Structure 1
Amino acid sequence: MNIPNILTLSRIVMIPVFVGIYYLPVEWRYLVSAAIFTLAAVTDWLDGYLARKLDQSTPFGAFLDPVADKLMVAVALTVLVEEYGSVALTLPAVVIIGREIVISALREWMAEMGSRASVAVSYIGKIKTTAQMVAIITLLAFPPGLLWSTAGLVLLYIAAGLTLWSMMLYLKAAWPDLFPDQG
């Protein structure tokens, strides 16, 4: 166990705390749950940075980091879909969660084929993640109907567009392995 892995595990521990606070019958729940999600997003960046800087990358960390990220994002989007109760928020949430499932399966399959490098995280994926995190934080911090929540929704649509774009890039890179006879 090392510091990067502890930070990754802390993101998973934050999930029930985040959900519990979000559903408290108090107004400050929005800002506190957004702060918890922000802390989780920062630990996501920090654990990767520390793992590289301190040369503490581990197979366990490489496995758990994307799992923790996807769990936190999926739970936050699910909570927001329930809170907002609108198709306008549900559509980009479904795109984002669906893409995560597809790309996770693709990476797993490509690893079994010995071609995991062709579906490594890309620069567009990092931009997508940043837009997605800022959108979720904004949507969590401001209840439905406020101007800032509308800005968060617009940013979530941008993140969903980047999500589809990055998925297409991953699928294009994996295409020769997925369909070797169609070169």
Structure 2
Amino acid sequence: MSQNGVPDFAELLRSAERSAYHLEMRDLYSVGEEEAAFGEFTRDGRADLDPDSPFWLGWTPLVRETVARGVRMRRARIVSEPVTDYIRWEHALTEVNIAVGEEVRWLPRRLASDLALPGNDLWLIDSRRVMFHWFTGDGDWAGHEFSVDPDVVRMVATAFESVWERAVDHEKFGV
């Protein structure tokens, strides 16, 4: 367990027994470790689609390990249209997420107006635990919050399922 009772993310994902669901609601992330790869995409349209490349080594082995244990991994993204350059990049990269076992859907923000949504991106693990991610206004990491409160978990699970039900499979969502 890391500081403030928030588990290390890899530890949290490795503890999943049935499901790990990720809800993303921002149009731009500016996380430091992505800066060079995103810059390359904006300059020449290239995205690293090799799941075994150094860019992906912090993620793809963890997903493969999780999925191999029978855990269902779903990722839902709520996005504004027209999409930002960052979302175009994420869309290109999603090929790797799917290749290693994630299911991914996209929901245009205009179709989410009547949904009750949490205020932050999150991971929902086994419909029992939630890790919220906080970001600065310009999209860099700002912290995390962990909850096992049944009311919070229920709200998050309901929100995620509402988004998932309306969202479009990655293969059908054009950017």
TM value normalised by structure 1:
0.32
Structure having the larger proportion of residues in strand: 2
- Report the structure number with the largest CA radius of gyration: 1
- Larger RCO (CA under 8 A, 6+ residues apart): 2
TM value normalised by structure 2:
0.33
